[in-house]
Structure 1
Amino acid sequence: MEQIDFVTVEEQQRPRKRGGSQAVTEKTSAKKSPRQGAAREGYRRLTADIPADLHKRLKMQALMEDRSVTELIVQAAESFLRNRD
């Protein structure tokens, strides 16, 4: 299968820097930033399989409230646990 690269006309006309991706790798490794996809400081990543329709409803609600799905789930979990005590 052939790989297709989507590049704008401006990107095609822009001169390329010599050194390629190696220069980018050296710059990013010097910053010592956290791994991509890693949980923020003080947080833990949680993975759960949920029904597709529930996921869609969560995303729609988050969009309507201008919040993230994470914020909705954290609020729901805190409310659930508070009511259990």
Structure 2
Amino acid sequence: MGILWMIIIGLIAGAIAKLIMPGRDPGGIIVTILLGIAGSLIGGFLFGGSDGRVGLIGSVVGALILLGLYRLIIGRRAHV
């Protein structure tokens, strides 16, 4: 149940992050889910959720960080 819950929270966090940072991204729903799940892990690391129970806000903050980095990396590739 923990993995399924992480995917659900990751999907929500990734969608909220894309709403906060609108723009054209080359990724679809799969990239959104992956950014959200990874954002949950980063949020847990940043906000001390060592037991894996990170709130939605921490997950969104982590997803925003990853989305910003993703756009920087993809943006550089597009201009090269």
- Give me the TM-score of the superposition, normalised by structure 2: 0.31
Structure 1 or 2, whichever has the larger Rg, is 1
Greater RCO (Cα-Cα under 8 Å, separation 6 or more):
2
TM-score between both structures, scaled by the size of structure 1:
0.30
